[in-house]
């Protein structure tokens, strides 16, 4: 056997690593989405109060900020990712229950679910197949996040329904941008940790789903 | 003002405090996109917006 056949070139090695990262990320994302949906089901069945949503959000954000960066490269990272997504699913239960109790609520929830899936699959597939580099969007997306958060803070006090709907639309577009940015980071080897990528993509999917629920619920009225 | 609003405000402020240092870092580290690249992103986001409007319309028409 010649040496040429038995060795792997650095380029194909990097391609293998990228493919493995993509495979691991999507596998982990599927598992966490199933787990999160199960936790949302438990939360709905127990009819937990809306305050649980906020407590779960605080818990999951604390895990994302303080625990995940320290555990992402160890086995404990897996437990952290499931804890984050489980908590977020638990917090989603009261929101879904609220929409289900509206007239035609089941249709709102199913449309939001289908819409979220379609947006994620289409954008992720585009970034994967085209292999375009969307790394230039980083600064724009972060500034967009800050603007949206400031507007959300303002709307907590002014409570304008039109602004709330516009903000949901802005969140959907921002999270769509994050899906392109994150998927492109995987393809173009900007990131090598599948747990960090899973959480990042999960957050985009979660936010698109909640914003779609808000928009579809409001548009029905 | 109820507790949910106060806690939501605290949550958003905490997110702003956490994200703020990363904004500058991201702006510095991001490469500049060409007009063509931004056009592509604009088109993709426009497609997403059109899809959301379609979902809203379909939801609205089922009510009527």
Contact: B32, A136; criterion CB under 8 Å: yes
Does A123 lie at the interface with B, CB-CB under 8 angstroms? yes
A190-218 per-position pLDDT tens digit? 678 999 999 999 999 999 999 999 999 98
Q: Is residue B40 pLDDT above 90, yes or no?
A: yes
Mean per-residue pLDDT pooled into runs of 10, chain A (221 residues):
56 79 95 97 93 92 94 92 97 94 90 96 95 92 95 90 94 97 87 91 97 90 65
Does A121 lie at the interface with B, CB-CB under 8 angstroms? no
The domain ranges of chain B are 1-30, 33-64
Enumerate the residues of chain B whose CB falls inside 8 A of the CB of residue A118: 51
- A66, two tokens: 């303080």
Three-state DSSP at A134 gives coil
Structure ipTM: 0.91
**In whole angstroms, what is the distance from residue A19 CA to residue A157 CA?**
47
Look-up of token digits 């489980």? A86
The domain ranges of chain A are 8-220
Enumerate the residues of chain A whose CB falls inside 8 A of the CB of residue B40: 132
Return the pLDDT at A221. 65
Contact: B27, A135; criterion CB under 8 Å: no
Shortest Cα distance, chain A CAs vs residue B40, angstroms = 10
Shortest Cα distance, chain B CAs vs residue A206, angstroms = 16
Return the pLDDT at B38. 95
CA-nearest residue of chain A to B45?
A: A173
Between helix A10-45 and helix A194-220 the angle, nearest 10°, is: 50
Enumerate the residues of chain B whose CB falls inside 8 A of the CB of residue A107: 59, 62
**In whole angstroms, what is the distance from residue A124 CA to residue A118 CA?**
10
Burial A207-220 (b: 16+ CB within 10 A, else e): bbbbbbbbbbbbbb
Cβ within 8 Å of residue A113, ≥6 positions away? A209
Three-state DSSP at A101 gives coil
A120-155 per-position pLDDT tens digit? 999 999 999 999 999 899 999 999 999 999 999 999
Contact: B48, A146; criterion CB under 8 Å: no
């Amino acid at each position: 056997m010649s040496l040429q056949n038995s060795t792997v070139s650095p380029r194909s090695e990097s391609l293998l690593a990228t493919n493995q990262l993509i495979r691991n990320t999507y596998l982990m994302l599927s598992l966490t989405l199933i787990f999160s949906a199960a936790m949302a089901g438990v939360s709905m069945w127990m009819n937990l109060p809306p305050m649980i949503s906020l407590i779960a959000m605080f818990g999951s954000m604390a895990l994302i900020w303080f625990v995940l960066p320290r555990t992402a490269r160890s086995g404990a990272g897996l437990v952290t990712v499931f804890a984050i997504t489980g908590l977020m699913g638990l917090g989603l239960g009261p929101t879904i229950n609220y929409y289900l109790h509206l007239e035609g609520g089941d249709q709102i929830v199913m449309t939001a679910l289908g819409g979220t899936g379609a947006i994620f699959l289409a954008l992720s597939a585009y970034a994967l197949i085209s292999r375009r580099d969307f790394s230039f969007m980083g600064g724009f997306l972060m500034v967009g996040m800050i603007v949206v958060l400031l507007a959300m803070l303002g709307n907590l006090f002014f409570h304008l329904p039109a602004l709330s709907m516009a903000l949901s639309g802005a969140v959907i577009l921002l999270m769509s941008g994050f899906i392109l940015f994150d998927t492109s980071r995987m393809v173009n080897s900007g990131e090598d940790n599948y747990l960090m990528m899973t959480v990042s993509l999960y957050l985009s999917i979660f936010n698109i789903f909640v914003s779609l629920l808000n928009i579809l619920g409001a548009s029905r009225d | 003002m109820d507790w949910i609003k106060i806690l939501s405000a605290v949550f958003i402020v905490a997110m702003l405090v956490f994200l703020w240092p990363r904004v500058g870092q991201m702006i510095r580290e991001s490469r500049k996109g060409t007009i063509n690249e931004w056009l592509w992103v604009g088109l993709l986001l426009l497609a997403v917006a059109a899809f959301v409007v379609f979902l809203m319309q379909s939801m609205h028409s089922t009510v009527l």
